[in-house]
């Protein structure tokens, strides 16, 4: 989520002459499955972790209709969009840091 906030702030600070798209820019981080999330936590922090969940068919149908990737080349070219979290491990580390602070 912080990558989305950072991207919004960066876009607002770009000099107007660098903006080539006046309607919308695409930003995207990474995607992960529940299995990837659990595996990352297990490998880095708690190999005894077990997780049980049920797949919602409604949610799965909605998610299945969304493209798996988006073209962010204009965002990168015009204002240097570059998300900090590029992997599941990056997100797990950042999330646990937030949790451990509270």
Task: Give the pLDDT band (50/70/90) at residue 97.
Answer: confident
Q: Which residue in 37, 50, 54 sits closest to 90, CA to CA?
A: 37
DSSP 32-90: --HHHHHHHHHHHT-TT--------HHHHHHHHTS-S----HHHHHHH----S--SHHH
Q: Of 53, 72, 69, whose CA–CA distance to 11 is shortest?
A: 72
pLDDT per residue over 8-52, tens digit each?
899 899 999 999 988 888 888 878 888 999 999 999 889 999 999
Q: What percent of the chain is predicted at pLDDT more than 90?
A: 35
d(CA 16, CA 67): 30
pLDDT of 66 reads 87
């Amino acid at each position: 989520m912080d990558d989305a906030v950072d991207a919004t702030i960066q876009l607002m600070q770009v000099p107007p002459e660098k903006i080539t798209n006046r309607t919308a820019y695409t930003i995207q981080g990474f995607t992960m499955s529940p299995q990837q999330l659990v595996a990352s936590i297990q490998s880095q922090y708690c190999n005894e972790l077990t997780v049980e969940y049920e797949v919602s068919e409604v949610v799965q149908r909605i998610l299945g209709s969304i493209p798996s990737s988006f073209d962010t080349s204009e965002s990168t070219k015009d204002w240097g969009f570059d998300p900090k979290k590029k992997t599941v491990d990056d997100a797990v580390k950042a999330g646990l840091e937030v949790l451990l602070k509270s």
